[in-house]
Structure 1
Amino acid sequence: MGKMKPLLYNVDKLKEYFRHIECAAIYGAGDYGKTLIDYLIFAGEKEKILGIIVTKRKDADHNYKGMEILEAADFFETHRNCSVIIAASLEHWDAMEETVLSKGASYRIMTQELYTDMQRKMDGREKTVYQGLDFLLAGFEKCGTTSLYAALKKIPAIYLSDKKESHYFSWFHMVEGAREKLIAAYFDNIRKGQIVGMIEPTFWASAKEIHAEFGGTIRLLFLVRNPVDAVFSYFKMANRLGEGNLLEAYRRSGGRFHVSMFDEYFSGLIAQEPEIFQYDYWMESFLKEYPHEQVNVILFEDLIQNPNEQLHEILKYIGVCEEREFTELPIVNEGNFVMADSEGYELAGRKFMLFRERDLLDAEEKSKKERECLEVQKLYAKAEKIYGVKMTDRQRTQLCEHFDGSVRRLEKLLGRDLTELWF
């Protein structure tokens, strides 16, 4: 086991570090690096920023906030043995750390927790307590909900938790004081005047629970997508998370991935939840609890083709006036791959569980878990993957037949023909 990494988990640790150094270079010019620089300027520490460096400048802008961005190799020619803060996501840490150590520099590493803490400290608006939910996206998975979350999260008038999903209804009945724990963990940074929302794509089967927990006045959103594409995407996600009970299927195909594994996966999925991705079924359950005007269904395909129009419609619906133009929807969770073999699939499951355990720990305990997480992350990055996997024509035809009745019923609910857009 290697030594623990020198991590900065919050603003207090960052301030303490800066008290003991004359200046530091910021290694990273992406979102992490720019947020760190913004915070240091906000905190009156701009004079201590020695420079902004990147591994290869072709991957970055040439300057930020009037400061030139230099390649690490060029920077360290004249600045050896300096202090550096690595400002990048976890998967880049090892390579950047190796570069810094090779130049004899001392360093610290910025974490996701510090990133969030800095953003909060720079928000000068008055904080307020949670007084109820204004809107909730309650479905559906693999329909672009993470991209919508990313778009809405950038709008100051909207409050969304830094953690996209709480999975509240999977644990609230097992935890004493569950509602108070939810509020403390997910609604702790609301600013006065914000519209408060949740993005919970797994809530599609919880209409009664939502009404009981969040009341009858909230505005509901649902993102739907061609269910044939959604369920196959769901299968690929399960694969790269090491879920879906696919190990036997790997073994039967000689330890290698084969698209025929989807057939067995889908059979098991509908045996467990017959109405999975049958949007009309779940819409009807919500319409028993809420009036039509409080249930808004958005098609993923429309959102991709016309992001500006669709996002402004969503904002109008939830009560937010926003003048900005949305030229495109943020692309996140692309992950268009599956694990090529059973060893990679098992590793994916180990990684998923390990990172989930880490996320439940406090900052000090996380630091102890970081090395193990990094080792698994490196193995996962090296594991063979197959990209661009597509279902067969036979599978697509069978799925179209399976979902046809549901899609036709959804058309009646929406008052829209989906034949050309879906099937």
Structure 2
Amino acid sequence: MAMARPDFLIAGVPKAGTSALHAALAPHPQLYLSAVKEPKFFLTDGPPPRHGGPGDVQTYQEHVWRREDYEALFAPAPPGALTGEATPFYLHDLDAHERIAKLLPDVRLILVLRDPVDRAHSNWAHLFGAGLEPEADFLRAVELEQRRKAAGWAPFWHYTDLGLYGSQLEHLLRHVPRERVLLLRYRDLRDDPAGTLDRVCAFLGVETGRLRAAPPDNVRPFVADTPANAAIRLALRTGARIGHRFPRPVRKVFRTPLLNLLHRGHQSRPFVTPAQRAALLPRFADEIRKLEDVSGESYADWLSLEHASRYRP
């Protein structure tokens, strides 16, 4: 039986507005976005791993890895609607590129890219705010990345690897023609949502002018590094290590009160500091230049030490 194939994928990158884009496109009458935002179907050839960092096993349990389950995500689509899903790790996973090209030879891919230093910092802040990141120092957490990768921690912990866009896009274009890949900037989605959504609709071949806003989504409050919060975060990480043994509703009963306590006060997340940018930019400079060469677009502002994000992580 033929696969119920999505027509488009929002394929990258984490912490760059993919949740907001998914939510913004969903009301379009000519589009159907899967109810599961990140099915992650193309990240494995079979069952996902059974180990990883804090919270990874629970996330793996949410993967839609069986073909029949993936097909079922698009079964409710109205006749004639273009179907799609958003899994922002597809760009990072080089093996996923071949899987996508093989099963979806005509697919269109949408990539939302963000300054890689800002993206890495936002990634760390998200996990720290969830109580899962044990390291309160961003640069120290980055230094732990290779050790964590060797220990099998999931890609969301790969703070710098997720930002190697040049090599990732170069590999993707070996499998998918450039004309079927739309590159967007996170800042454009934030600053000009109507214009950016029109670009997406035009790329997909559906009516423009229908979508005006990209709602904020998937934004987690930041938490101060206090002794009380450290104890709550330790409790959350402990629960994350054993939570996969219990049904999701049971996990939520214990996790939700702890998160509510951790997020009391709703502190704003910090911006990237000049020192942090100076420390990390050299890791990305060659990749940014490669991205420019491969894409034919300029990302020169990302190469500036003076570049400062206007967006909190």
TM range (shorter): 0.7 to 0.9
Residue 296 of structure 1 pairs with residue 296 of structure 2:
no
Q: Summarize deviations over 1:315-358 as a string: whole Å, max 9, x none.
A: 111121143251x3211122241463322223443379759964
1:218 aligned to which of 87, 90, 107: 107
Q: Choose the corresponding residue for 2:287, options 383, 406, 411.
A: 406
Kindly state the Cα deviation for residue 172 of structure 1 after the two structures are TM-superposed.
4.5
- Counterpart for residue 54 of structure 1: none
Of 273, 277, 301, which aligns to 1:396? 277
Contact 1:160 1:197 (8 Å CA) reproduced: yes
| Structure with greater strand share of residues | 1
Q: Choose the corresponding residue for 2:191, options 305, 310, 326.
A: 305
| Pairing of 1:22-421 with structure 2 (within 5 A) | 131-170=4-43, 172-174=45-47, 178-184=66-72, 186-204=73-91, 205=93, 206-212=96-102, 214-244=103-133, 246=134, 249=135, 257=136, 261-270=137-146, 272=149, 275-326=161-212, 328-338=213-223, 340=225, 341-349=229-237, 350=239, 354=243, 358-359=247-248, 366=249, 369=250, 373-383=252-262, 386-420=267-301
Instruction: Provide closer, same or farther for how the CA distance between residues 166 and 376 of structure 1 changes in structure 2, counting only shifts above 3 A.
Output: same
More RCO (CA 8 Å, sep 6+): 2
The Cα offsets for residues 350-373 of structure 1, whole Å up to 9 and x where unpaired, read as 3797599645xxxxxx5xx3xx62
**How many angstroms apart in 2 are the aligned matches of 1:356 and 1:197?**
32
**SS of structure 1 residue aligned to 2:101:** helix
Secondary structure of the 2:39 match is coil
Structure 1 unaligned spans of 5+:
1-128, 250-256, 360-365
For 1:377, the aligned partner's letter is T
Given the superposition, is the C-alpha separation of residues 218 and 265 from structure 1 closer, same or farther in structure 2, using an over 3 Å criterion?
same
Aligned ranges for residues 13-28 of structure 1 at < 5 Å?
none
Q: Where does the alignment leave 5 or more consecutive residues of structure 2 unmatched?
A: 49-63, 150-157, 305-313
1:414 is displaced (CA, Å) by 2.9
Residues 203-248 of structure 1 show CA distances to partners (whole Å, capped at 9, x for unaligned) of 1212112223x3221111111011110000011112233434x2xx
Q: Which amino acid aligns with 2:139?
A: D
**TM-score calculated relative to the size of structure 2:** 0.76
What's the secondary structure of 1:387's corresponding residue? coil
1:108-141 deviation per Cα after TM superposition (whole angstroms, max 9, x unaligned): xxxxxxxxxxxxxxxxxxxxx9632211111110
Does the CA-based 8 Å contact 2:32-2:84 persist in structure 1? yes
CA shift for structure 1 position 295: 1.3
How many corresponding residue pairs?
Answer: 269
Change (3 A) 1:191 1:378: same
Aligned AA for 1:395?
Q
Instruction: Tell me if the contact between 2:22 and 2:86 (Cα under 8 Å) persists in the aligned partners.
Output: yes
Structure 1 segments, 4+ long, off by >6 Å, are none
**Aligned-pair Cα RMSD in Å:** 2.8
The percentage of aligned residue pairs carrying the same residue is 24
Aligned CA distance change for structure 1 residues 420 and 391 (closer, same or farther; 3 Å):
closer
Report if the CA contact (8 A) 1:221-1:297 is conserved. Answer: yes
User: 1:365-408: per-residue Cα shift (whole Å, max 9, x none)?
Assistant: x5xx3xx6245312321226653223432111111222111112
Q: Highest Rg: 1 or 2?
A: 1
